[in-house]
Structure 1
């Protein structure tokens, strides 16, 4: 479920150590498209929290993580939590399951970086499957690409890649993690980067939201925009934006509430948003590939310069 991106701004003295433009994802396009197709297939039944479809999606994500763990220093935890009904008296408590991946940093800094992408969607409604290809199979595939990139070349700082459950039920998975960072040994998080809806746009535009809240990061976002193979725009993060203020509308909001700077990468709402038509067949794959390349490059860049934040 995506509502809007929020971004961070860097100081003008920020050091840019990764200047090359990232035109393509370091992960093969065939792997990206295969992951997107698998997670948004009908047999996933819309990945609603607590269903067999969600379990099947989780198994796919864990298979990818375990395959990557053989190639690098990758640890994984599966974290159950109680999902409360959105309204008192409606429904019952069900179990959600977050997936937490840790890649240990090779440097001496105590700062860490968080990347999130929720894997749940809205399920089946009136017999129709809401496949959620853009929302948020696209973000999950991008987060897996980040994991595989850093497994091949370990980060300098601790990197936490989180696949929250129950985002569509009020950010409950990310709220559970954000409220218990010390329990999960997530120490000194300097930045939280969220992916939610990266694949569907007819104007070749991807938003990064959050610079309103952290204006010192704006020069960095501007630098990223100059070298991206996609139109990377800032916005959707001011109170006056009304319902287009995305600050609390996806998982980054849970970390923002804990005082952690964040960046939210995502597209604007489109005709397929929360509709049965959000399918793999309706995804413009060229845009999706370049969007993933952009966000993988962004995570790489921020990780390398995390001590300047």
Structure 2
């Protein structure tokens, strides 16, 4: 019997169903041919023991029954209607996730708004240099050194490429909210410090520190968005990251235009203005739910 047939038979036997539709998964590339539900095959008694252990470890003893009902629903997303342990209110909420998929808790909208603002900061930070490089090379006497000007402009991207590799250990250590807060600090102080630099190497150092935060932030915000969003709307919410980065680019160009006629100081305002939207992210990220 083929591997695909084995998998289909395994699914049928475990879920007690007579027919399984083939998904679009390519069996030659996915050795399991499906994404396995981690709760599949666990008995109710064992599931209750695991839930009790989880609640005891993280201090949710008073919510143990709620977590158990949630685990049952997650274990059997297609057959939860038949479970007597779930209340009618539980079932109504689960039904509404499908029939009213945009009727979401206020905390979720708040979290996505903060993530959208964090994404827009990414775009704004990237475009500040587009206006500033019209004047800061003359300020520092490097207008004839195009390679150096290019390195200064690309500094955040270069260091972001390196810092992105640190996203996983930092997230494991600080959690999603802690990581977003930490990277937000790099979107405030180095960005603002750029406006006060007196030489090209000081500007380059500030932009390198910007990149340290940007690389980790761009790797964390989409993951946090996916973790707080229900499955029915997860795809749309996660892909909004690119939309808001593009919006930040638009706002960055508008800011460049606003400061363009200031004169010799224009480049300082163009580079430093992007610190402002990072302030509410630093403050209000702690009002968002953890994941």
Superposition TM-score, scaled by structure 2 size: 0.26
Q: Greater Rg, structure 1 or structure 2? A: 2
User: Which structure shows the higher helix fraction?
Assistant: 2
Superposition TM-score, scaled by structure 1 size: 0.25
Larger relative contact order (CA 8 Å, sep ≥ 6): 1
User: Which structure shows the higher strand fraction?
Assistant: 1
